[in-house]
Amino acid sequence: MVMRLRRLEDLLGGRLDRLQYKDVADLVGNPDAAESEDLDYKQAHYSTEDQGKEELAKDIAAFANHLGGVLIIGIAETKGVPSKVFDVDLDDRLLRHIRQVVANNTAPPVPYQAIRLPNPENPSVGFLLLAVPRSPQAPHAVTAPPTKRTKDALRYPRRSGSQTDWLTETVVATAYRARYAAAAKRDQRAEDVESDIVHAIRRRSIPHLIVTVVPEVPGDMVINGESFARYSTELRATVLHLGQGHRTLGSITVGERRLVCSEGSDGYSRRAELHRDGSATLAWPLAGNTSFPNQPSSFYFVEPGEVVYAALCSLAFLAGHARDRTGATGTALVNGTLVNSLVSHPAVNPVLALEQTAKPLPLRIDRVDRGNGQRVPTSTQACASTSTAVTVVLDDIADQGRGLLQAVALVSNELVQAFGLPETGLISTAGELNADLFTDRNRGAVADWARSLGLL
């Protein structure tokens, strides 16, 4: 998943993973491209000696401990302003060295992405971009042995303007506390947002997938008469069912610091709650079948393709709200919960569950044979409720690219494991899609959607 930084994208003219050699070369002499909190230049590769390893680890960790940023290797700077191009080797060996240095000399290891931009006239050389997102695991320490005498045992770098500072012990302690407090706050926020929608539809007795997104850095959506009219028009024109091309959200109302969207009022309608801070959740009823109806051994089963399609549509819709309506960015927590009935959801009080007159059937994840339409036993066990949580790059999901497919694979694979399946097999963790394995109801829609975005 590629890091997204709006300021740098505006400066460079596009997403980092879509840049060309010329986009970076054109920065030379541009004062707006001077080194800053999120941008740094290196004329040549870091030395393979101890000093070079320490410097690389420090520069990478400094970005992760602050706002995130991009390190461009292959450009010299004069007083911070890029001044001359010096193409560097783009050999795999050098990229492996960088990966080993970062992994072995930062704690916890800093996540980053290496992006090669080869010179069209000599593809073996060019620019190397190291894109470092703001890390929810900050602060990251530099563990490489110091090459200069220092009295500081703690070595936590952070960008400060165009320079790098070392954090004091007090600041490090505060950062650790903030890390755990922020994670706990996101978890609680996700739980609260999901609980609200569950209680609103708790009388539903069929299986549902509930997907919740909570941005790491909250956004802000203004709700007033003018904006509500605009959002209503926009949401009614939104294609919730990807690839199907029809408008499905017919009801848009205002709730407590949120917009409430639904297809209708029956128990088979999708319902979404879009909060002002960018948090959002969507309850998706799952189409399935009952095996041996009216018998003691009966159970409800849905196909893997129904679960994956619901996750795909839900994540795309919710991330789009967070980024485009509230301005949230960076990473986000994604919760996925699969239940055989809303009364099985952990948020539903057992006393309230007594309102449900019919006992929910056990849920299985099984395939259907295309030839005869019969159930093909796939799962090894039934499950009433299962959930998972993953962290994603919000912009990657909202852009509906390969990052969305990767996130859906993580969420759906972990959900079906509760039923004894190792994975769905429909989307790989690398984001490779096999549309042919989806169900008769959504196979064509998935293929059309993926084809329109170049994902097949």
- Give the tens place of pLDDT for each residue, 3-53: 677 788 889 998 888 899 999 999 999 999 999 999 999 999 999 999 999
418-432 mean pLDDT? 94
- Confidence grade of residue 154 (pLDDT, cut at 50, 70, 90): low
Q: Which residue ranges does the chain devote to CATH 3.30.950.30? A: 6-167
Q: Is 129 in a helix, a strand, or coil?
A: strand
CB 215 within 8 A of CB 330: yes
Q: Which of 278, 273, 282 is nearest to 221 (CA)?
A: 278
d(CA 132, CA 152): 25
d(CA 217, CA 182): 10
Residue 390 confidence (pLDDT) above 60: yes
Q: Is 274 in a helix, a strand, or coil?
A: strand
For residue 295, give both structure tokens: 């018998």
d(CA 141, CA 147): 16
Q: How far is CA 223 from the centre of its chain?
A: 26
- Confidence grade of residue 66 (pLDDT, cut at 50, 70, 90): confident
pTM over 0.85, yes/no: no
| Residue 442: half-sphere exposure toward Cβ, Cα within 13 Å | 27
d(CA 401, CA 219): 22
What is the CB neighbour count within 10 angstroms for residue 273?
Answer: 23
For residue 28, give both structure tokens: 């030379």
- Confidence grade of residue 319 (pLDDT, cut at 50, 70, 90): very high
411-437 mean pLDDT? 94
Q: What's residue 356's pLDDT?
A: 56
Residue 1 confidence (pLDDT) above 70: no
d(CA 344, CA 362): 10
Strand residue runs (E) in 47-89: 68-73, 75-78, 81-85, 88-89
The sheet that has 271-275: what strands, in order across it?
A: 251-255, 258-262, 271-275, 280-285, 208-217, 329-339, 385-393
Q: What is the pLDDT of residues 168-226, one digit of tens each?
A: 767 777 777 766 677 778 889 999 999 999 999 988 888 999 999 999 878 889 899 99
Domain 6-167 has CATH 3.30.950.30: yes
Q: Which of 224, 223, 247 is nearest to 235 (CA)?
A: 247
CB 243 within 8 A of CB 439: no
d(CA 28, CA 277): 39
CB 132 within 8 A of CB 68: yes
What is the CB neighbour count within 10 angstroms for residue 370?
Answer: 10
Q: What is the pLDDT of residues 74-114, one digit of tens each?
A: 999 999 999 999 999 999 999 999 999 998 899 888 889 89
Q: What's residue 352's pLDDT?
A: 52
CB 383 within 8 A of CB 416: no
Residue carrying the six token digits 């012990």? 169
Q: What is the pLDDT of residues 323-369, one digit of tens each?
A: 889 888 778 999 999 999 988 888 887 655 555 556 788 899 999 98
CA torsion sign for 374, 379, 381, 387 is: negative
Q: Which residue(s) pair with 284 in the sheet?
A: 209
Q: Which of the listed ranges 4-13, 160-169, 443-452 does the model predict with the highest average pLDDT? A: 443-452
d(CA 24, CA 276): 37
Q: What's residue 62's pLDDT?
A: 93
